[in-house]
A and B are shown apart, each in its own frame.
Chain A
Amino acid sequence: MPRRIAPIAVVAAAVAAVVAATLAWWWMTSNRYPPPPVPEGLAAATTTAAPLIRDAVRLVESRPGDAEARYHLALVYEANDDPTRARTSLEQAILLAPDAPPAWYHLALVHEHFGALDEAIAAMERVVELAPGYAPAHRHLGQWRLDQNRIGDAEKAFQRALAANPRDVEAAVGMARIEVERNDDAAALARLEAIVNGSDPPGAGAFQLYGTILRRAGRLAEAGAAFARARADAPQTFDPWRDQLEPLRASLDGQLAYARKLLLRGRVADALTLLESLYREYPESASAAIDLAVARRALGNLDGSMALLEDAVAAFPESSNAHYNYALTRFMLSHRPDGTIDPAGLADVDAHVATAIATNPSSPLPRALQGDLHTALGENRAAAACYQQAAVADPANPSWPYQAGLALLRAGDAPGALTALSSALALSPRRPEIMVALAEALRASGRADEAASMLAAARRQSSRRPEPAGPESLPPLPWGANSSGFAPAGNRQ
């Protein structure tokens, strides 16, 4: 007769199993894996980043052997101005997944943030070993090697960046810097002319270097124009790993910046979703309201945009941006389907443009909008004057003298148009539409031969072969550009 197992034994066995499992879990989590870095008082913290951090920490605690979870936590810290904990998290992620290039990449950036250039370079060297096709890594290496005055190494890095992505403008600027270092101004000038007139807008550094070389070549007027453009924003470079930080910036400003980038990239629907939620969360924010209005307008929802802007100008009467966008949207609403303007729709536009200018005299946009209004009403001289004022406020932008030139052409002022359009062409020497308008002004001035030459130049410019392939046509990266880049399975719990 089989022996009966006492219930107490079953219970004991179950307890033992539970204890063993708990011990195993404790061993795995406590001994094998280090705890994630956690700010003191996180549980009770009320900052905008706190919920994101809590979620990311929880994820790591639930999957302590998961490198990607630690990487995500690192990005949350990095995006929210805590590079120290970001560094710790990245080092933990790398211990679990030593071959994950994005972790090394962000570790390099964090080291660089701390000024630890040698460590940054070592980490970035690891990235290029693991992901030789990732152009931004080579570009960073090139810039850091330049900082070390290791010109040959910098050149190789920039060349690799350009091989990986021929449209990496900043790498091309880096090559120009190397040429300048080698006193080959001619080569640098040729390269920079292609860059500043290319379809991918470069950053301020390109114009600064371009101006310096032009100045050395005695081309002072062009140098002045280049220096005036050396205030450009940072270029939109292809760097999907770095872009992973954007949605993780918890502050309102960070979220709005992300929404604006989405808008710039044409992801209007995503931007709209984000902005709608930000507007609900921050109804007191003028920026949230106005950015949402801009997104709605971009999607064709002019009435929805107008409703927001009516509230915005009332709630934020000192906001130039609110008044400008109100006036712009009202102006767009006044367009009839046949393309004509309904003057009644413009009733209060002037007043809002005037307020926008008064509250921010240095902004060119309200003045240009004023020009558009005059243009729509056939008041070409007045329009030209407005565009010229916009050009004074924003001397690096060729659009304003170009618009002024067109208005003056329409007004029959060929000499004035010549002057304005020549200024526009000096700022952007390869834009065919400016050349065509300038040809028209030359013809109207009785300079038919020059007009014909200019038109021919415009045609040549229009028929230029397309720019080389951009990152969207790069061979696929081994992990996919938008994934975290962590190897599956073996590195996960």
Chain B
Amino acid sequence: MWKYIARRTVEMIPILIVISILTFLFIHFIPGDPARLVAGKDATLEDVENVRHELGLDKPILKQYMDYMKNLVTGELGTSLTTGLPVIDMFKTRFMPSLHLTFLSMFWATLMGLVIGVFSAINKNKWPDYFGMVTAVSGISIPGFWLGLLLIQLFSVQLGLFPTGGLDGFSSYILPSLTLGAGIMSMIARFTRSSMLETLQADFIRTGRAKGLKEHSVIVTHALRNSLISVVTVAGLQFGFLLGGSVVVETVFSFPGMGRLLIDSIAFRDYPVIQSALLLFAFEFILVNLIVDVLYTVLNPKIQLNS
């Protein structure tokens, strides 16, 4: 197992290097002179040159990249052009709320997705199935930003149950996590249903029933457990969807997380923050995919880790 994890981790390195090159080159890809863009339209030539020097854009490109990598390793992500704060300090306050929001969304989406999927499968072509699948296909199709606004209108403005935005305790996580998790819940529900339907046809289920096992035991202990293998993969692979979605949802709820920070930085052309935020998102995504891979193999002993 450890050998497999080590191998997969090593495989990540080239991709991480390419990503670091891409995020490094981000500022160089900007059409026009990045130093002029950062300094502003009215800046003097001297101001522009100062910004160029400050950003290290006057050095040879290879030297710039080596400096960038050296700084990355030491956790030095530069300074925000708008706040003047070290980027790493800004991330420290923004990262954890986003992580909590993502995990909470994933938790309830998986739980609800499994419940809807299982109920749909065991009631195939009956009303709980139709209801479950209508909910699922709607959840995939609903724009997160619209759902968020509707939830704010209903639960915050009209019923006054939750805050309309910001971050003030656990209640601030409820509506954003429901919004963010809706799409994943639907995908998990659909996938659980089809996976359960397939598993329920298997010989070992028939044997279980023939042996007189209770239906509850057949469904939960045998069918669901086997279906979980593929469901975990789907859930894990959708984590990226959550990271992307969090940008929109955090904007709707004025939630002080990484997604909101990214959008604000884009608005103010704060390139050091944009660069590092993109790198962090990509790293998070790759790491989750690795965890999903490992979890998949742990859940399914039939898969040979070394093959």
Q: Does A associate with B in a complex? A: no
Interface residues of B (CB under 8 A from A): none
**Residues of chain A whose beta carbon lies under 8 Å from any beta carbon of chain B:** none
